[in-house]
């Protein structure tokens, strides 16, 4: 431990900056205001998985997909409340790795940090590819790799300048997505209520059950869509990474987490319910955005272009978030001796510039894929993200269960933001995520991500063995200590 740390007997307070090891949160600028944290949380709950992925899932599950999104949404709320309790016990940048390190041991912190980094790097590749495809809609003569490279450079520069600029870009990206979804819901409700547009004659709430029932393909087929539904929820945990750079974490983080249920209810359950009432589920097909299909059915001429622009902002938003989170996670790993020390340095603008740069270079592989195999680039890099995300959520839940056990035993102070139901809800969420993992293993098309994760786990295990051989102290448990924020 460094001399900058205070004695661990100091009582932590809500909103204090945490330090584990060598102060992983030290030096960051607390430049993210309440407005930006709120929109980062909202943006994390609205992504390409909803705008595009819902089409294939509707074809598989019909109207019952609404129930799958609602069910998964409840579990995600359990995950986020567990994370919220940990964040207010000890708000720290790189939170998932830090809590895994504290409650499960150094190896789990190392594994979680690197796995979360991998998740965002491959997600960044996928989103760059998606963004290039969306621009291709308007400018078919521009090669995909050129567009992907331009977006990569622009977002990279923005992330290097300051955390405030990152927050501002994310705010406006999220604003576009939120405004578009609310507009879609309002238009859909207008069609249902007043019967205008070419869809007015067939739009009806009865569309939810008239065509072969609410579960037209059976409950089993509906459950199989849960893996795709969980992919759509990836990144909701990003608000936890912002803890070390939030101006007032004890106020902004609980507010952001507590508004998650209505965001899920409105943007996922609400939007899908309205769309499936306006257009019967049998008219949706894989590979086509249900929002584009609904706008076309209603008869809005610019509908496809509008949705294309919205999905473009969703892809860029995700890539922007990836650059932000990977740099912070590498700094946390470096601080604990689990990555090269150079990642620990901050630039003059208080950003982990070297970590962001290296992460962006890896994301650049996506640009190369767009040059070599533009038609297959997106499919090459998406499957790993879901498995890595599930691992991250499991580590949050298990850390929360162990934290509550320590609080009950009097070993740790209680958080000012306790999760409802305590550890019971976390146990339910763990069981659900293991069930989804089983579904992934059962599905021949998606189980490839488990093979990739197995290879990744072996590589990290080898890396850990090398680290321990060079520096045995890296495997020693260190008690967390606390510093005042700001």
Question: Residue 352, Cα to own-chain centre: how many angstroms?
Answer: 20
pLDDT at 414: 93
Alpha helices per DSSP H over 242-302: 249-258, 260-263, 271-278, 290-298
pLDDT at 255: 80
Q: Check if the beta carbon of residue 239 is closer than 8 Å to that of residue 86.
A: no
Own/partner long-range contacts of 52-56 (Cβ < 8 Å, ≥24 apart): 52/130, 52/289, 52/311, 53/228, 53/231, 53/232, 54/232, 54/272, 54/289, 54/290, 55/284, 55/285, 55/286, 55/287, 55/288, 55/289, 55/290, 55/293, 56/228, 56/286, 56/287
Residue segments in the chain with a per-residue pLDDT below the cut of 70: 1-35, 38, 40-45, 47-49, 52-53, 93-94, 240-247, 287, 301, 370, 373-383, 479-486
The SS3 of residue 171 is helix
On the CB side of 221, CA atoms within 13 Å amount to 14
pLDDT at 164: 78
Q: How far apart are CA 151 and CA 222, in angstroms?
A: 36
From residue 164, alpha-carbon distances to 30, 37, 127, 321, 430 in Å are 9, 11, 22, 13, 35
pLDDT at 379: 54
pLDDT at 373: 67
What integer best gives the mean pLDDT of the chain?
Answer: 81
pLDDT at 429: 97
From residue 261, alpha-carbon distances to 73, 75, 104, 269 in Å are 7, 10, 29, 10
- Within 10 Å of residue 448's Cβ, how many Cβ atoms? 14
Q: Which two tokens stand for residue 426?
A: 């976390």
Q: Which two tokens stand for residue 248?
A: 């007032």
Q: What size, in residues, is the chain?
A: 486
- 254 CB contacts (<8 Å, ≥6 apart)? 84, 88, 417
The pTM for the full model equals 0.84
Own/partner long-range contacts of 337-340 (Cβ < 8 Å, ≥24 apart): 337/21, 337/467, 337/471, 337/473, 337/474, 338/109, 338/110, 338/113, 338/114, 338/467, 338/474, 339/114
Q: Check if the beta carbon of residue 380 is closer than 8 Å to that of residue 103.
A: no
């Amino acid at each position: 431990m460094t001399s900058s740390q205070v004695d661990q007997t100091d009582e932590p307070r809500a909103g204090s900056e945490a330090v584990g090891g060598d102060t992983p949160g030290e030096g960051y600028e607390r430049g993210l205001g309440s407005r930006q944290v709120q929109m980062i949380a909202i943006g994390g709950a609205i992504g390409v998985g909803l705008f595009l992925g819902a089409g294939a899932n509707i074809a598989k599950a019909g109207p019952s997909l609404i129930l799958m999104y609602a069910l998964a949404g409840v579990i995600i709320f359990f995950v986020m409340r567990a994370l919220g309790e940990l964040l207010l016990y000890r708000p720290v940048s790189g939170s998932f790795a830090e809590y895994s390190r504290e409650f499960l041991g150094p190896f789990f912190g190392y594994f979680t940090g690197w796995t979360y980094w991998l998740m965002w790097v491959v997600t960044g590749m996928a989103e760059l590819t998606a963004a290039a495809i969306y621009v291709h809609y308007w400018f078919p003569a521009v090669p995909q790799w050129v567009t992907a490279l331009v977006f990569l450079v622009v977002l990279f520069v923005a992330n290097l300048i300051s955390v405030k600029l990152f927050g501002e870009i994310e705010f406006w990206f999220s604003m576009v997505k939120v405004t578009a979804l609310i507009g879609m819901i309002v238009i859909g409700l207008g069609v249902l209520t007043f019967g205008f547009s070419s869809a007015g004659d067939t739009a009806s709430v009865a569309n939810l059950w008239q065509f072969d029932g609410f579960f037209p393909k059976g409950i089993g087929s509906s459950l199989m869509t849960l893996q795709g539904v969980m992919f759509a929820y990836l990144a909701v945990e990003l608000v936890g990474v912002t803890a070390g750079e939030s101006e007032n974490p004890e106020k902004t983080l609980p507010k952001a987490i507590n508004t998650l249920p209505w965001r899920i209810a409105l943007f996922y359950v609400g939007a899908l319910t309205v769309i499936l009432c306006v257009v019967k589920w049998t008219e949706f097909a894989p590979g086509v955005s249900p929002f584009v299909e609904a706008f076309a059915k209603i008869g809005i001429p610019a509908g496809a272009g509008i949705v294309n622009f919205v999905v473009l902002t969703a892809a860029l938003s995700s890539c922007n978030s990836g650059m932000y989170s990977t740099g912070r996670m590498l700094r946390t790993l470096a601080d604990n001796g689990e990555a090269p020390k150079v990642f620990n340095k901050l630039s003059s603008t208080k950003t982990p510039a070297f970590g962001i740069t290296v992460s962006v270079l890896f994301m650049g592989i996506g640009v190369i894929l767009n040059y070599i195999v533009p038609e297959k680039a997106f499919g090459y890099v998406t499957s790993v993200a879901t498995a890595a995300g599930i691992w991250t959520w499991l580590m949050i839940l298990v850390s929360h269960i162990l934290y509550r056990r320590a609080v009950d035993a009097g070993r740790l102070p209680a958080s000012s933001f306790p999760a409802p139901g305590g550890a019971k809800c976390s146990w339910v969420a763990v069981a659900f995520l293991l069930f989804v993992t089983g579904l992934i293993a059962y599905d021949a098309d998606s189980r490839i991500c488990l093979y990739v994760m197995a290879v990744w786990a072996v590589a990290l295990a080898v890396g850990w063995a090398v680290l321990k051989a060079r520096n045995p102290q890296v495997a020693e448990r260190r008690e967390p200590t606390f510093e005042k924020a700001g």
